[in-house]
Amino acid sequence: MRLFKRPLILTDIDIVFRDDPARYVPRWIEAGDVGVRFFDAVRARWSVSRKRLLYRYPKFEPWRMLNAGCVYLKANTQAKSFLDVLANHTSEAMARFADNRGSNWWIDQNILYAVFVATMRQGSAKVFSLENTGIPFGGYVPVEGDLGRSAGTHPALALLQA
């Protein structure tokens, strides 16, 4: 971010884009400082491969509320602060689990969730859900209109914003 002075998009290595990510960046810039996939509402989506309607439901386990498959960071100090905290949490978590012979499944989601919670509590960056603005990958596309998203707020978000 410092070098190019442009937004940064972090994705899993196995992401396959179905659309040009550059088309989404203007929406993301307008939406806030940090974009994550937060499963906070019932959303209807069209399956790209099967041509049928799918529903995504809110999740309650921390490792399922936030998906670390894609993180958007605006080129500003708020996103840079978020990234610094994310780097510190990741370094600590990886050091803690380096000698663990067990499983580290969902560690990326748990780390991102911890940083998300800290950011929401501090109000240090405007975090938004990429589920609300669209994503250029995945096997489904948003449904427009009333079917698109349910009303209401996820209980975790309501508590963090109080």
DSSP code string of 17-39:
BSS-GGGTHHHHHHH-SEEEEE-
Sign of the dihedral defined by the CA atoms of residues 148, 150, 155, 159, in that order: positive
- Torsions phi, psi of 78, nearest 5? -65, -45
For residue 156, the model assigns a pLDDT of: 65
**Higher-confidence position of 62 and 24:** 24
Question: Where along the chain do its domains lie?
Answer: 8-161
pLDDT digits (tens, 9 = 90+) for 31-82: 999 999 988 878 777 776 767 777 778 888 888 888 888 999 999 999 999 9
Q: pTM for the whole thing? A: 0.82
| Per-residue pLDDT, 53 | 79
The predicted structure's pLDDT at residue 146: 46
Amino acid at 118: A
The 10s digit of each residue's pLDDT in 77-100 is 999 999 999 999 999 988 888 777
